[in-house]
Structure 1
Amino acid sequence: MVQLILFFILALLSVRQRLANKKKRLLGKGEVPLEPVPSPFSTALSELVGSAGGIYLSLVLLVSFLKIEIPPEIFIWEVALEPLALVALITAIIQPYIARLFIKSR
């Protein structure tokens, strides 16, 4: 149970980093929006889900193309998860940190 809570904390930290990245991009523009905009949290959360979904679809296509046998589900912390979905979610969670490192190295 503690591990599951830790996983959700890591997901929230990923959303927080996405918010920080988006804020840096918006501050550079200096524009004032004329239309209502979604909240930064909802935008970051939808980006996280969208990234994870795109990664998941890519992994499914790769596994089916290469005809790799993977188990239909694995149990982590007494929770049944699909392996590809877990890999996609973890990759989407760490993606903003990798992007930040890439931007700093420029």
Structure 2
Amino acid sequence: MRGWLLAAVLATCAHAAQADETIRCGKWVVNSSLTVGELLNKCGEPAAKERKEEDVWTRNVNGGSYRSGTTVVEYWTYDRGSRAAPIRVKIVDNKIRSIERIL
């Protein structure tokens, strides 16, 4: 019984980690295959934006790592009203990486 429960929990976690959903935004259906411009055209400006610059680390041939640059990560939050959960869009270097409902 415990093995089955553990498998179910792990399957749920793996699905949640994927965090890429198809979401309705007004009359449009949006997903991570859109460009940022298409997202703005279909959903408008988000209610909130968070922007971070993060280091990019690369492994060298000796097994060590070094800072090879930076990347810009943005999180856009859309409030879709009282009848739908808000959504959070992760954008990395101006490309949509994931869309998820905020529960």
TM-score, normalisation: structure 1: 0.22
Considering fraction of residues, name the structure with more strand.
2
Considering fraction of residues, name the structure with more helix.
1
Larger Rg computed on CA atoms:
2
TM-score, normalisation: structure 2: 0.22
Question: Which of 1 and 2 has higher RCO (CA within 8 Å, sep 6+)?
Answer: 1
